[in-house]
Structure 1
Amino acid sequence: MNLKNCIKIVLFVLICTNLQAQRGIKIGYVDIDYILENVPEYQQSLTQLDSKAEKWSRELANKKAEIDQLKNELENERPLLTIELIEEKEEEIEYLTGKMFEFQDEKFGVGGELLVQKRQLVQPIQDQIFNAVQEIADNRNYDYIFESSSDALMLYAAKRHDLSDIILKLIKRSAKDGTFNNDEDLFGEKYKSVEGAIEDEKKEAAEEAKAEAREAQREERIANQLSARDSIRAARKKEYEDRKAQLIKDREEAKRKRDSIREARENN
């Protein structure tokens, strides 16, 4: 945030404070970071997401280690390889490197799964916070409620204006018995009748079944791709070993002939 915007906010707060003294305007603020840290469901989901991120990081490290190993093997064996084999190995390394960066972008990129899931995780809580703010503002006649968190600018605010604990209580109460005015639960979904809830459960079960089927198909496709790749690599490795053995054999045969010629010359 630039200096111009900071000055505007400071002036706005000062004006609001002056108006509060003159006309009884009520001002409050909430700390969203504090609220998120104290919502157990959010923290549990965040822990699960962190575990996913660690798993993805390990997979990425394994891919890099595999590529580094192939590079080292190529450098060590380069003198024994034909140009064709060298090119094949370089192509394989280039392919695996591309797949590694593709995986990295897919998981950790700007539009990657990690950021997307974080947004999906925090959005329902933010909706709940907004609903709670609306309820407090309506019921207690607040004129302005600001945000005070690491991303927002709040130079100073008296603790008596902090509504964070009240918001947190409302969220937890809503999660327990759905007592918000708009009957929303912790994740911001509207209250449903028993019949509606049963119908939603059926739809959710159907969606889960579809998702499991898609995941099974995906795993099968990946397994087939890995199997095909392993077969290709095994064939290439066998071809390489055969060529290597033939090259060594040819060198030994050439050496034997040279030794025979030299021995014949020495005997004559």
Structure 2
Amino acid sequence: MKKIILMSFMLIATLTASAQKFALLDMEYIMKNIPAWERANEQINQTSKKWQAEVEALNNEAATLYKNYQNEAAFLSNEQKKSRQEAIMNKEKEAAELRKKYFGPEGELFKKRESLIAPIQEDIYNVVKEISLLRGYSLVLDRASDTAIIFGSPKIDISNEVLEKLGYGR
């Protein structure tokens, strides 16, 4: 903890010693005040729940097939056992593939999130860049995501200005 505090003071001292200007913003605050962000998140959550239900339905089918197999295994021939085992494995594989398709690293949920949220983030970035160039800020820190910021004066917080330029003024 002492190292983080010391590093923060060193960063601030370095920035102020070279007469550089900096600002803070709170991305969480900004996002909460943009209705399109809330709508995008709600749409992503609804889609995610729908897709999760599809995956769970396949997993439940596989579990039911397995339970039925266990109950009937004593009465099945070797060929029937093999056939049922293959059906269970195929259903489990189908569920795993669907999970990967929807929730994998480059799956449908990732693509949907990118298509809905990336434009909003780009707008915010452009406004922050515009304000920074206008005011001569060399550095803008996000107080919501940086744990090294212990205190930030409200005088250097540009969150409301960003919201105003985006058309969501207070």
Normalising by the residue count of structure 2, what TM-score does the alignment of the two structures yield?
0.85
Q: Which runs of 5+ in 2 are unaligned?
A: none
User: Deviation string for 1:206-263 (max 9, x for gaps)?
Assistant: xxxxxxxxxxxxxxxxxxxxxxxxxxxxxxxxxxxxxxxxxxxxxxxxxxxxxxxxxx
Q: Which runs of 5+ in 1 are unaligned?
A: 174-268
Q: Following superposition of structure 1 onto structure 2, how do residues 216-235 of structure 1 map, counting pairs within 5 Å?
A: none
Q: Following superposition of structure 1 onto structure 2, how do residues 60-79 of structure 1 map, counting pairs within 5 Å?
A: 60-79=55-74
2:12 paired residue number: 13
- State whether structure 2 residue 94 is matched by structure 1 residue 95: no
**Alpha-carbon distance in structure 2 between the residues aligned to 1:108 and 1:7:** 41
1:32 paired residue number: 27
Q: Following superposition of structure 1 onto structure 2, how do residues 92-171 of structure 1 map, counting pairs within 5 Å?
A: 92-150=87-145, 153-171=148-166
Residue identity opposite 2:108 in structure 1: E
1:8 Cα deviation (Å)? 4.8
* Cα 1:90/1:164, change in 2 over 3 Å: same
Higher normalized helix content (fraction of residues): 1
Percentage identity across aligned positions? 25
Residue identity opposite 1:86 in structure 2: K
Equivalences, count = 168
- State whether structure 2 residue 51 is matched by structure 1 residue 56: yes
Secondary structure class of the residue paired with 1:154? coil
Structure number with the bigger relative contact order (C-alpha 8 A, sep ≥ 6) is: 2
2:37 to 35, 42, 48: 42
**Alpha-carbon distance in structure 2 between the residues aligned to 1:166 and 1:44:** 22
Aligned CA RMSD, in angstroms, stands at 2.5
1:152 Cα deviation (Å)? 6.0
